[in-house]
Amino acid sequence: MRNYDYFSYEIVAECPHTGARAGRFLTPHGVIETPSFMPVGTQATVKAMAPFELEILGARIILCNAYHLYLRPGIDVIEKAGGLHEFMRWNRAILTDSGGFQVFSLASLNKVNDEGVEFQSHLDGSRHFLTPALVMSIEESLGADIAMCFDECTPYPITEDEAKEATFRTIKWAKSCKQAHSRKDQALFGIVQGSVFPNLRKYCSDALVDMDFSGYGIGGLAVGEPRELMYAILELMDQVLPENKPRYLMGVGHPLDMTEGIARGMDMFDCVLPTRNARNGSVLTSKGNLNVRRLELREDFSPLDPKCNCYVCKNFSRAYIRHLHKAGEILASRLCTWHNLHFMLDLARKSRNAIIEGNFPQVLDVCKKVFGDETN
């Protein structure tokens, strides 16, 4: 069976004022309506959430990480369980990140060449050598609906020469991934690198488009560069990437950055910030971020966000959630995580509906007013 028998992407509406688009991405584990936010389940679990709770929230796809799962519990364990979906009891779509970002950010003593990356595990110090072919074997064994190519993610700031070397290597690895990937029921996305240099971004995107991937990730952004530079690169990507393929802005999940990304033609987003911040007592609201540990909330019996209709806001008060955090109760992290994921998933849904109804700029303007003065 051919790859495109399992996957299809169609645009159902476009914003006449921005580059925003609403789409439908068919996968073996259901349709993903875009724009879409993907909760991050790095270790085959979204922290503090059970799979059925993610279903209640309306999540259609989550992200897991091949690097982490390769190191622990090991691909052999997951294969014996029947694949990643069966292992974690999640029957909706999964995207696996190849681990390129983690290899360069978590692993110590890594050595990079055109063949791959030798690195020392951040868990036990064991040494490993990841090649594009091995990464494809890992991701195929995991059985995710979408696999990402192995790429070299660069930091910011970086010189143009350094970015050029990483871009050329990313293209070389993408070609190797394409050749090694054989699972027809798994889409393979190429990843555009090139830091903040438009010429490198265009060169990389052109090379990847020629390879004809099922979709395209935009990596190496939201790593410390000014927002204006990120938005400029996204505008370029909107111009040069195929309209008939999904576009995934990797690692971006601040509400403003997501809506600005949607306005520039991006379809899929992920980020650990909503769940990480929730565990630290920071929640997203219609008036901006709220720190639930604040003393003035001690006797505040209103919901986290009076405009929110999530389970948490309909049932619990700020005072109660503050008490849970101060007492170190696990439920505090669970409730705040539930709320933050609802906020991001709902923002993606509202953006999609607004695109279809023709008033997406209003959603963008609200996000600018509420979150425009905040940083990542």
Rounded Cα distance, 102 and 219, in Å:
13
The answer to whether 137 and 113 have CB atoms below 8 angstroms apart is: no
Average pLDDT over residues 188-209: 98
What confidence score (pLDDT) does residue 104 get?
74
Among residues 364, 165, 112, the alpha carbon closest in space to that of 257 is found at: 364
Q: Looking at the domain assignment, is residue 258 inside a domain?
A: yes
Q: How confident is the model at residue 2 (pLDDT cuts 50, 70, 90)?
A: low
Query: Contact 119/107 with Cβ under 8 angstroms?
Result: yes
Residue 295 has pLDDT above 90, yes or no: yes
Q: Is the pLDDT of residue 49 over 70?
A: yes
By annotation, the residues acting in catalysis are 97, 270
Q: What is the DSSP string of 184-236?
A: TTSEEEEEE--TT-HHHHHHHHHHHHHH--SEEEE-S-SSSS-HHHHHHHHHH
Is 235 part of a structural domain of the chain?
A: yes
Greater pLDDT, 340 or 109: 340
DSSP string of 318-357, one letter each residue:
HHHHHHHHHTT-HHHHHHHHHHHHHHHHHHHHHHHHHHHH
The pLDDT of residue 97 is above 60:
yes
In a domain, 176, yes or no: yes
Q: Does the pLDDT at position 107 exceed 90?
A: no
Which structural domain, as residue segments, surrounds residue 179?
3-272
190 part of a folded domain: yes
For the segment 64-77, what is each residue's pLDDT rounded down to a tens digit?
999 999 999 999 99
| Cα Dmax for the chain | 61
Question: In this structure, is residue 263 part of a structural domain?
Answer: yes
Quote the percentage of the chain above a pLDDT of 70. 97
Stretch 49-68: mean pLDDT: 97
CATH number of the domain enclosing 134: 3.20.20.105
Average pLDDT value over all residues in the chain: 96
Residue-wise pLDDT for 203-224, tens only, equals: 999 999 999 999 999 999 999 9
**Is-contact 281 291, C-beta < 8 A?**
yes
To the nearest 10°, report the CA torsion of 107, 112, 114, 118: -50
Distance CA 152, CA 237 (A): 18
The verdict on residue 26 lying in a domain is yes
Strands (E), the chain: 8-14, 21-27, 30-34, 36-38, 61-65, 93-97, 108-113, 116-120, 127-130, 146-148, 187-192, 215-218, 247-249, 268-270, 282-285, 288-291
DSSP conformation class of 35: S
Residue 105 has pLDDT above 50, yes or no: yes
pLDDT at 376 over 60: no
For residue 133 the two structure tokens come to 């072919």
Q: Is residue 323 part of a domain?
A: no
Please check whether residue 157 lies inside any domain of the structure.
yes
**Average confidence (pLDDT) over 173-183:** 98
Total domain count for the chain?
Answer: 1
